[in-house]
């Protein structure tokens, strides 16, 4: 009798493990569903495509807003300290925080996990973080993909990508044209580095032979703040004229994306409340311009609003994320002007 081999498994892909993981995802994804019809009607996990019934939302003129992102080389920090239960929160945050900039409410999320070898325990922790992030964002995890790719990824290596979709009534869509002369720029604190600048962080760790204390490890892996809950309330009350998610490119580059051609954001750098983790990085001989274009420096999100709305906006945020003024909108063809210095 001719001997047969499970050649796909020998090549490094374990379909049995993948099937077990699908069952796990099917169970945990239910935690992200609100009391909508699709909870009973649609079984997305395991299907070829994911279904979401937007008719239940009863919107008049819905505009679809979508976003896709990853978590960059923060993954390597997770691998280095072997902590995987929060990196999924980062993945959701990096996508949904972009949606709310245009006034959209996130409604569903999909993930993509590519990994060298499918280690169930490790992937479950990543997925648990994704589910928790979806619950914080108020959106449903409707599907995704987990790909075992030996040869493409080195041992223990993996990558993440996310895809989020949100909806906003056409009349409530936030665009740069709503920003007005004499509006105030408010800084909303970040939770830390979020998911940007980690290539520079890792370069410093490697080239300066830095050892990580428990405190620094906690700061580096701290998940990205999800601002959906607060911004949903703000947008429902129509309190703001514009906002920006401070991600890659830092504070100034991201703010410049939401300014009309005839207006200018005047930012007082001395008012920025810098978090200790950025001071730790700055002390490794990094210039102020480099810090500003690489990191959020303590400002995770920015809001532009009429002065009269400031107090009402502040009441929506918790103590740790209370917005504060850092600038004013003036008339000029220069989109961003800065004055003052960062206080390290």
- Which CATH number covers residue 262? 3.90.650.10
Task: Indicate whether 1 belongs to any domain.
Answer: no
The 10s digit of each residue's pLDDT in 100-118 is 999 999 999 999 999 999 9
Question: 16 or 11: which carries more pLDDT confidence?
Answer: 16
CA distances from 82 to 153, 155, 217, 243 (A): 17, 14, 11, 35
Final residue before a domain boundary, out of 138, 157, 172: 172
CATH number of the domain that residue 109 is part of: 3.30.1330.10
Q: How many domains does the chain have?
A: 2
Q: Which segments of the chain are extended strands (E)? A: 62-69, 105-115, 140-148, 158-169, 184-189, 242-245, 263-268, 299-305, 324-331, 336-339
| Together in a domain, 51 and 198 | no
Task: Indicate whether 107 belongs to any domain.
Answer: yes
Q: What is the pLDDT of residue 254?
A: 97
| Together in a domain, 109 and 200 | no
| Together in a domain, 199 and 300 | yes
State the chain's mean pLDDT as an integer: 91
| Together in a domain, 293 and 165 | no
| Together in a domain, 93 and 195 | no
| Together in a domain, 189 and 320 | yes
| Together in a domain, 143 and 256 | no
The 10s digit of each residue's pLDDT in 268-326 is 999 999 999 999 999 999 999 999 999 999 999 999 999 999 999 999 999 999 999 99
Q: What is the pLDDT of residue 56?
A: 82
Final residue before a domain boundary, out of 172, 204, 238: 172
Token pair recorded at residue 336: 């961003």
Final residue before a domain boundary, out of 172, 190, 212: 172
Task: Give the Cα-Cα-Cα angle 53, 57, 58 (nearest 5 degrees).
Answer: 115
Measure CA 100 to chain center: 11
- The set of residues, in sequence order, having a beta carbon less than 8 Å from that of 263 and lying 6+ positions away, is 179, 180, 181, 329, 330, 331, 332, 335
Task: Indicate whether 6 belongs to any domain.
Answer: no
Task: Indicate whether 5 belongs to any domain.
Answer: no
* Cα separation, 134 vs 244, whole angstroms: 21
The 10s digit of each residue's pLDDT in 40-66 is 445 666 667 888 888 888 899 999 999
Task: Say if residue 36's pLDDT is above 60.
Answer: no
| Together in a domain, 162 and 231 | no
| Together in a domain, 75 and 167 | yes
Q: Quick one: CA dihedral 295, 300, 304, 307, positive or negative?
A: negative
Domain that includes residue 255, residue range: 176-339
| Together in a domain, 154 and 187 | no
């Amino acid at each position: 009798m001719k001997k047969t081999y499970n050649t796909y498994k020998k090549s490094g892909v374990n379909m049995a493990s993948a099937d077990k993981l699908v069952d796990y995802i099917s169970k945990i994804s239910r935690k992200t569903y609100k009391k909508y019809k699709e909870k009973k009607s649609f079984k997305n996990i395991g299907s070829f495509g994911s279904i979401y019934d937007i008719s239940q939302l009863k919107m008049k003129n819905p505009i679809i807003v979508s976003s896709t992102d990853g978590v960059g080389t923060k993954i390597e920090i997770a691998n280095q300290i072997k902590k995987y239960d929060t990196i999924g929160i980062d993945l959701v945050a990096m996508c949904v925080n972009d949606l709310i900039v245009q006034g959209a409410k996130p409604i569903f999320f999909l993930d993509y996990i590519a990994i060298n070898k499918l280690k169930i325990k490790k992937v479950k922790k990543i997925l648990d973080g994704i589910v928790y992030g979806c619950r914080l964002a108020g959106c449903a995890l409707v599907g995704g993909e987990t790909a075992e790719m030996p040869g493409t990824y080195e041992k223990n290596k993996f990558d993440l990508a996310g895809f989020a979709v949100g909806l906003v009534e056409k009349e409530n869509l936030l665009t740069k044209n709503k920003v007005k002369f004499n509006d105030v720029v408010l800084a909303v604190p970040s939770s830390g580095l979020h998911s940007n600048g980690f290539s520079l962080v890792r370069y410093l760790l490697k080239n300066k032979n830095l050892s990580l204390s428990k405190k620094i490890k906690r700061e580096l892996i701290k998940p990205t703040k999800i601002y959906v809950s607060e911004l949903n309330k703000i947008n429902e009350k129509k309190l703001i004229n514009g906002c920006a998610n401070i991600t890659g490119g830092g504070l100034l580059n991201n703010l410049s994306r939401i300014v009309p051609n005839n207006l200018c954001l005047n930012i007082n750098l001395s008012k920025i409340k810098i978090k200790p983790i950025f001071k730790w990085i700055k002390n490794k001989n990094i210039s102020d311009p480099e810090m500003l274009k690489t990191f959020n420096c303590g400002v995770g999100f920015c809001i532009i609003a009429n002065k009269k709305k400031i107090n009402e906006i502040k009441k929506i945020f918790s103590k740790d994320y209370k917005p504060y003024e850092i600038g004013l909108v003036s008339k000029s063809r220069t989109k961003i002007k800065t004055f003052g210095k960062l206080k390290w």
